[in-house]
Structure 1
Amino acid sequence: MPKLDISVQDEQKAFEADVAAIEKQWSSARQSHLKRPYTPQTIAALRTSIPAPSNASSIQAVKLWNQLHAHNKAGTCELTFGTTDPVAVSQMAKHQQTVYVSGALCGFSEVALPGMDHADYPWDTVPKVVSKIFKSQLWHDQRQRQYRLRNPIEEREKLENWDYLAPIVADGDMGFGSLTSTMKMAREFVDAGVAMIHIDDLAIGMKKFTIGQGRTIVPTQEYLDRLTAVRMQFDVMGAETLLLCRCDTDHSEFITSVVDERDHEYVQGATKKVEPLQKCLQAAQAEGKDLKAARNEWKAKAGIATFDQAVEAVASADELKTYKAELSKQKFTSLSTRREIAAKTVKQDVFFDWELPRSAMGQYMFDSNVKAIVERALAAAPLGDVTWARMDSPNWNDIVEFHAEVRKVYPDRLFAFGYTGDFNFAKAGFSDEQVKSLHLDLAKLGVVWQVQPIWSLQGLNMVTEEFAKMWSEQGIAGYLKSVQGPALAKEPMTDGFEKLSYCGGYLADAFFETVAGEPIVEKGKAGNFSRH
């Protein structure tokens, strides 16, 4: 292996130049809001001798950054939806500024073994879909550009000119493994041309986006480590790629560990001396009883509560006031310290055991509330560019409280919001008029990017089923009447195989003409050739 012929002085100069470039990038308007737990020198030392390719992702990220800030300034928002289909994306370009690639959708349509949204697909599944879509966007951009430039300049004003390069926002789930797995996934996303990815705080292997109990989050520090790993990978690649910090704490019932004292306030335990939950469930199973009913019965018997709630249940008004005053002297208080404070301020013993309710997989019970979500979002904010608190129900008071509390600390924070498929607005107290203006009301809170993640399931399935029924009943006559006739008659013609400017016919001609040595625009003057 040949030895590198470079002096250590030149090596040091190159390193210092790289450090200076990193410092300049980090102080830019795009990145100055970020706070990293590592130095430019560390990132420079982690880089390869040949810069990692990140140009496309960076260009799209800056474009998205500017779009979101324009919305924030105007009090408006981007409304997009999820898809994995490049053909659908080509039509979204006429109305949406961004494209969303959902992990749930990829798990249904892009893997060998489809399944529910449990993030149990290979870690590179979503990056591959992003790559597929981004390449299709580049192709549409190319064929539109060539078609326009082969027409006289005076005719181009009448031609379609869509921005096919809508920035792609993608689902990174919880990072799919160790921090190195998360870094590899982040790199694949950048290589694929993504503009922004989101990383959440759910537990790997325990994601249950189904009906019933079971959603589990990780300790705060583990969540922050994931975000740091992604940010580090972006920095190593010199990428401007945006990081969306998604917090799935809302409606989570479990946490994997109590190692982080920042979570102790919300961990639940038994306030009465009972047998462990697992022992109760094992007995119920042996007797053939309904396990869910047995679990609920045990929770009621155990008096499940947080430690502070346990104190409140036995303390007098004055004792409780003193206890809370002592707690307020520090930002985060561990359970052991809480016990010490209670022992000094409350006469009656406070029984609390968070080991008794642990699940078969070792999870601790967790009391999800807006305060807990806000604290996680604030801890994560310095590492990311946008914040998203996923909420399972449209509780307007909770929504307002969350975004307002975060903006008290970060006044210019940008937010994302996802509309889940089973939002029951009527049950949540929304009127029809309030639902109509919801996206605008959210925009006033700084929610500049709003997504319906799974349109490609509900929406596309409905349209396809309707067409399939019509086709089976009416055949080609129905197709001519309902699809082809209206499509060809529309001005401009609906995109399809018959429309050469859309399907790439003119681009293919340009390839053949170029190989044959024929000019596709007049030399020195673009646009002197009429349409074929």
Structure 2
Amino acid sequence: MSQKYPDVKAESAAFDAEVKAIEKWWQSDRQKHIKRPYTAKSIAALRNIGFKTDYPSSVQGRKLWKILNEHNANGTYELTFGTTEPLIAKEMAKYMQTVYVSGALCGHSQAAWPGEDHADYPADTVPSVVKRIFNSQLFQDQRQTQLRMRFSEEDRRDLECIDYMLPIVADADMGFGTLTGCMKLARSFVESGVAMVHIDDLAMGLKKFANGEGRTIVPTSEYLQRLTTVRMTFDIMGYYLPPCMMLEDKEQFINSVVDPRDHPYVLGATKVVPSFLQALATGRESGRDYLAVKKEWKASAGLMTFDDAVKSQADSEDQYKSYEAEVKGKIIALQDRRAIARKITGKDIMFDWELPRLPRGQYMWQWCTQAVIDRAVLAAPLGDVTWSRQDKPNKKDMEDFHSGVRKVFPNRLFAFGYTGAYDFVKAGYTEQEVETFPADIAKQGVVWQVQPIWATQGLSLHAKQFAEMFKKEGIAGYMRNVAKPAIEGMATDKYGKPTSRGGYLADAFFDVVDGDEITEVA
């Protein structure tokens, strides 16, 4: 049997050296702001000691980190969009610094069975798309290098010299379930060549779009476990860039009240009424609409948070202020809040968060900017970039969120995603403010900005317009409207040959195998 170590002392020495190397790495300028809830010894014990793998993701992660911090220092930003298509990523390299791969877009275009943004596609879907784009980046870089080396320095000044190796940011959705599932997903991303992933705080399988229910988040503790799992996996692999976190905006439900940090925002009934489930059953029997029943029930139940219930049932403003002084800014579970309220008001405050529960068990949730800030502050030490999803560009929410997090972490980096349905005018923005919006939020630290699912609008629109033209004008229209401008805009060498053709690289392989040198063109 082959022995890995000659004796246990050699094994201990190798382990101790690994621990010291990890501790030194964690104290570097790049890593020291990350707060890990585990030790270097634990990570060393989970590593393949003596078999180090250098992942391209680390190179791309460091490159992205440099890009983002330069933008932060300069008050500028990177604005990019999402794609699943390598040929589109190739063209993006001429104008963008990064590429984004959206889970929603992959679900629409890459899954065997397409679907909406439910993360119900196989867990390896997005990593496989990242890998394909990353491989195409390597190909384009390789093709360009060997081509340029065939020309003199003087001629190369007029040739394209594009950095095709754009860092890829990818969507890890909800981590795909279990702790080990999340760990395997993170590993797949690192092996794919990704530069950064983001992972959100939504509950698996409870994302609604069309029935008025919206999104459901997980408890704070579960979200922190997801982030810690990704961070742990990256540390085990020696990967350099921690995850970006996405915190959902305007969520309506939470699937568990296990974490007292969430209790201030859970809604409960303050009146004695039948449960929401009973109201739904009665409504169905009479053929009433779900949303109408829900709206009526919420009004009849006096739905509010426990703190608001105390305020509404206290005998005086002073009573509530006394209660507020004991709970504000502290982690206090509902049971203890009840006791404090009883001591101060002399009443058992009517509040029942079980009555509003939904058919799938979720509790109703009171969204507010402070709730998102609370989570962002707790999650920040595990990653580098914070992303709060906002379906509508509310001015006050934007300012309050980013300034609120930066009060705790003054140099925090942020990401922001633009949906395709933003109505800036309805949100109170002038046309000039829309023009300067990306630059304005960059001043708040929003250094990475993305339109995540451009293909569902932009690419679809272009395809529709082309199909209509092609139907009417045929191949003559194609030559006139597509081929001619494409050829005219194509980079060529001094002999008029397109430089982007992969045939150059294939021919180079033949030449080298035959013993011919890749030399300057005569």
TM-score (norm 1): 0.95
Give 3-state SS (helix, strand or coil) of 2:419's partner: coil
The alpha-carbon distance between structure 1 residues 441 and 210, as it changes in their structure 2 partners (threshold 3 A), is farther
Closer, same or farther: CA 339–5 of 1 in aligned 2, 3 Å: closer
Residue in 1 that maps onto 2:472: 473
Distance of 2:311 and 2:263 partners within structure 1: 16
Call closer, same or farther: CA 1:485–1:365 in 2, change over 3 Å: same
Q: What residue in structure 2 maps to residue 16 of structure 1?
A: 16
- Bigger mean CA deviation after superposition, 391-400 or 68-77: 391-400
Moved over 4 A (4+): none
Query: 1:360: which partner in 2?
Result: 359
What displacement does 1:286 show?
2.2
Could you tell me which residue of structure 2 aligns to residue 502 of structure 1?
Answer: 500
Q: Which residue of 2 aligns with 1:219?
A: 219
Structure 2 equivalent of residue 87 of structure 1 = 87
Question: 1:6 corresponds to which residue?
Answer: 6
User: In structure 2, what residue type is equivalent to 1:143?
Assistant: R
Within 5 Å, which residues of 2 pair with 1:482-501?
Answer: 482-490=481-489, 492=491, 500-501=498-499
Is the 1:208–1:215 Cα contact (8 Å) retained in structure 2?
yes
The SS at the match of 1:245 is strand
Conserved 8 A contact 2:311-2:320: yes
Question: In the alignment, is the contact (CA less than 8 A) between 1:403 and 1:445 conserved in 2?
Answer: yes
Alpha-carbon distance change, 186 to 142 in structure 1, aligned in 2, over 3 angstroms: same
What SS does structure 2 have at the residue aligned with 1:350?
coil
Given the alignment, which residue of 511, 514, 518 partners 2:509? Answer: 511
Contact 2:137 2:164 in 1 (8 A): yes
**Structure 2 equivalent of residue 529 of structure 1:** 521
Q: Which moved more, 1:130-139 or 1:235-244?
A: 235-244
Cα deviation, 1:213-265, whole Å, max 9, x if unaligned, reads 131000000000000000000000011133101111x2111111111000000
Letter in 1 for 2:345: V
> 1:481 Cα deviation (Å)?
1.4
Once residues 481 and 358 of structure 2 are traced to their aligned partners in structure 1, the CA distance between those partners, rounded to angstroms, is 55
* C-alpha distance after superposition, 1:241-293 (max 9, x if no partner): 33101111x21111111110000000000000001111111121122221221
Matched residue, 1:401: 400
Deviation per CA, 1:86-115: give whole Å up to 9, x if none.
Answer: 000000001110000000000001011001
Whether the aligned pair in 1 keeps the contact of 2:491 and 2:499 (CA below 8 Å) is: no
Please give the alpha-carbon distance, in whole angstroms, between the structure 2 residues aligned to 1:100 and 1:220: 27
Question: Equivalent of 1:520, from 504, 518, 521?
Answer: 518
User: How far apart, in 2, do the equivalents of 1:410 and 1:333 lie?
Assistant: 24
Calculate the aligned-residue CA RMSD, in Å.
Answer: 1.5
Q: Secondary structure at the match of 2:68?
A: helix
Q: Does 1:75 align with 2:75?
A: yes
Deviation at 1:25, TM superposition (A): 1.4
Answer whether contact 1:242 1:385 (CA < 8 A) is retained: yes
d(CA) in 2 for partners of 1:270, 1:366: 12
CA contact (8 A) 1:167 1:194 kept: yes
The corresponding residue for 1:524 is none
1 CA distance for matches of 2:499 and 2:194? Answer: 27
Aligned counterparts of 2:466 and 2:497: Cα–Cα separation in 1: 21
Query: d(CA) in 1 for partners of 2:346 and 2:393?
Result: 41
Cα distance in structure 1, aligned partners of 2:229 and 2:423: 36
Quick one: which amino acid aligns to residue 529 of structure 1?
V
Give, as a single letter, the amino acid of the residue that structure 1 aligns with 2:506.
Answer: A
Tell me the SS of whatever aligns to 1:502.
Answer: coil
**How far apart are the structure 1 equivalents of 2:211 and 2:158?**
51
- The aligned counterpart of 2:344 is 345
Q: Tell me the residue number matched to 1:377.
A: 376
Over 3 Å counting, the alpha-carbon distance change for 1:161 and 1:210 in structure 2 is farther
Flag the 1:210–1:381 CA change in 2: closer, same or farther, 3 A.
Answer: farther
Shift of 1:49: 3.6
Assess, with a 3 A threshold, how the Cα gap between structure 1 residues 510 and 115 changes in structure 2: closer, same or farther: same
Give percent identity, aligned residues only: 54
Quickly say closer, same or farther: Cα 1:5–1:82, change in 2 above 3 A: closer
Contact 1:415–1:449, Cα closer than 8 Å, also in 2? yes
8 Å Cα contact 1:119/1:207 also seen in 2: no
Number of the residue aligned with 1:100:
100
TM-score (norm 2): 0.97
State the Cα deviation string for residues 123-176 of structure 1 (Å, max 9, x = none). Answer: 111000000000000000000011001112221111101110000000000100
Aligned length, in residue pairs: 519
Asked whether the 8 Å contact 1:138–1:165 carries over to 2, the reply is yes
| Aligned 1:77-476 pairs, distance under 5 A | 77-210=77-210, 212-248=212-248, 250-315=249-314, 316-328=316-328, 331-476=330-475
Cα 1:356–1:502 shift into 2, 3 Å:
same
Unaligned runs of 5+ in 2: none
Amino acid at match of 2:395: W
